[in-house]
């Protein structure tokens, strides 16, 4: 008797979210209309409204879920690590893994935040604060300046030309940056 492995096909909504993330990240939120998105999916524009309220709500969902996933992924990576050095390495590695697996949400978080309304921005800032708090706990940075610099470095690296540093290079660079900042702070 032959066995067939059933592979779960993405639902229409999942296909919509993936396509929107890709198109918004590659071309920009403002440049992509719902007609473009529907055409990309081979759908009629009106059929998108079975899955979304509007384009801005779609963008918010993509950014919110991407950032929530990043926070959760990073939290999972940090479990069990005790030393600050190892936790810092895992924080950077977690970011790099997430970026390799899901580059589009990170682009949207960086570039499309301005297209959200004030309530949506507050929600995203809260998630950014959760992510930053993970790093502040590692580097002992109550004010957040060092954590913000490291997170800026990580997010900026994803857009620096088209080359990406390796996890090892990023981990070493962040470790040195944190060490330098700690040395300067203690003087």
Instruction: List, for residues 124-157, the tens digit of each pLDDT value.
Output: 999 999 999 999 998 887 676 888 888 888 888 7
Q: Residues 24, 108: contact at Cβ < 8 Å?
A: yes
Map residue 141 onto helix, strand or coil. Answer: coil
Q: What is the pLDDT of residues 61-114, one digit of tens each?
A: 999 999 999 999 999 999 988 888 888 888 988 888 898 888 899 899 989 999
pTM (2 d.p.): 0.84
User: Which 3 state secondary structure label does DSSP give 73?
Assistant: helix
């Amino acid at each position: 008797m032959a066995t067939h492995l059933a592979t779960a096909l993405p639902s229409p909504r999942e296909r919509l979210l993936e396509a929107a993330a890709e198109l918004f990240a590659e071309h920009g939120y403002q440049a992509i209309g719902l007609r473009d998105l529907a055409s990309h999916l081979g759908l009629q524009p009106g059929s998108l409204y079975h899955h979304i309220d509007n384009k801005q709500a779609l963008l918010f969902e993509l950014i919110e879920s991407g950032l929530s996933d990043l926070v959760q992924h990073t939290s999972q990576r940090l479990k069990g690590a005790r030393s600050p050095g190892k936790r810092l390495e895992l924080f950077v590695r977690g970011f790099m893994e997430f970026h390799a697996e899901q580059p589009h949400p990170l682009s949207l978080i960086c570039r499309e935040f301005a297209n959200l309304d004030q309530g949506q921005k507050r929600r995203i800032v809260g998630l950014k604060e959760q992510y930053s708090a993970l790093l502040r706990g590692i580097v002992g940075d109550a004010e957040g300046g060092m954590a913000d610099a490291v997170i800026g470095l990580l997010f900026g690296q994803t857009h620096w030309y088209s080359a990406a540093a390796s996890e090892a290079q990023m981990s070493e660079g962040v470790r040195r940056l944190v060490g330098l900042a700690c040395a300067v702070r203690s003087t």
